[in-house]
Chain A
């Protein structure tokens, strides 16, 4: 946790700062995504969608948020 009380995280390779005590569900909403259409990996571990509300974002977390795109 930094001095201003925010947490620094990396989402899809980009640095972001979020307020302390942010849940993963809030983080996803903050980014502007529909939680039903994405999958999330936190520090290389998959986070089940059913736990998005309970998982709290920690300083230094690295997230991968993926979805389906066109492909062969």
Chain B
């Protein structure tokens, strides 16, 4: 029997584990970025190896001096992979909204990723601007997946404002530090009625597994794959880690104890 890349739920043959955001259902729980790669070929190979069905993309000016430069769409087909336009680089609600209006016009996408940054040094989100932008975008019919601080109250406020997914940082963007606050990520997961995806901070496969073991619906990453020595094999490692973490979460981990508990029976010792 051919093995699907998705997880088969234990004991339930052929029932795949999917997740749904704003009415759209996906099998892969890994969303990958398309920045920082050596070239488009490597980027496309990494996306393929990651199994991702969604990629984040940025909206930028066309280089009108050299309009024949290769374009992302020539390498990653938006008919096969869902493009998630992102507002990375925007520092105000207005900039982010303007960017997403253009994105919608360029590709017709209403499922978007909102990120409004507070400062260049930490790239921490400005939550006041983020919330304001979320409200406007929702009024305009967008379905924003929102990058945010790992704060359960802020997450709730975003959800109430109409965010279709909550995407707390695990650590600063591009830092590769791994998830710094397991407690707050878990609190957000427990409180949310929309998907929660860790966005930013993952450095290696175990970080992605941790996010999934906490019960997150998915993980979004860019630098951890793009800046690996071998991005394509790291993409595969991330795919396996996300699936592995998800399966561990569904399986229900054992309780932790302070002391040892022998695996072999004590009775019948010679």
Residues of A within 8 A of B (CB): 11-14, 31-33, 37-41, 46-49, 64-72
A12: chain B residues at CB < 8 Å are 61-64
Contacts of A49 in B (CB 8 A): 105
For chain B, residues 98 to 133, give those with C-beta under 8 angstroms from any C-beta of chain A: 98, 101-107
| B58 surroundings in chain A (CB, below 8 A) | 68-72
Q: A14 and B64: CB pair below 8 A?
A: yes
Smallest CB–CB gap between B194 and chain A, Å? Answer: 22
* Residue on B nearest A65 in the bound complex, by CB: B62
User: Which listed residue, B72, B85, B98, touches A70 by the CB 8 Å rule?
Assistant: B72
Chain A residues, CB < 8 A from B267: none
By a CB distance below 8 angstroms, the chain A residues around B98 are 41
The answer to whether residues A67 and B105 also contact, given A14-B65, A33-B62, A72-B33 and a CB cut-off of 8 A, is no
Known: A38-B106, A39-B105. A66 touches B59 (CB 8 A): yes
- Contact check: which of A31, A39, A71 meets B106 at CB < 8 Å? A39
Q: How far is the CA of A13 from the CA of B60 in the complex (A)?
A: 13
Interface size class of B (residues with CB under 8 A): 35 or more
**Contact indicator per residue, chain B 226-243, by CB within 8 Å of chain A (1) or not (0):** 000000000000000000
Contacts of B59 in A (CB 8 A): 39, 66-69
25 inter-chain pairs at a CB distance below 8 angstroms, sorted by A residue, are: A12-B61, A12-B62, A12-B64, A14-B64, A32-B67, A33-B64, A33-B67, A37-B106, A39-B103, A39-B104, A49-B105, A65-B64, A67-B71, A68-B58, A68-B71, A68-B85, A68-B106, A69-B60, A70-B34, A70-B36, A71-B34, A71-B35, A71-B222, A72-B36, A72-B173
B226 to A, closest residue via Cβ: A72
**SS class, residues of chain B in contact with chain A:** mixed
Q: How many residue-residue contacts, CB under 8 A, span A and B? A: 103
The answer for the CA separation of A37 and B160 in the assembled complex, in Å, is: 34
CA distance A72 to B62 in the complex (A): 18
| Consensus secondary structure, chain A interface | strand
**Complex contact B105–A70 (CB within 8 A):** no
**Is the beta-carbon distance between B72 and A68 smaller than 8 angstroms?**
yes
The 10 A-B pairs of least Cβ separation, nearest first, read A71-B58, A72-B222, A72-B33, A39-B106, A70-B34, A32-B67, A39-B105, A68-B57, A39-B102, A12-B61
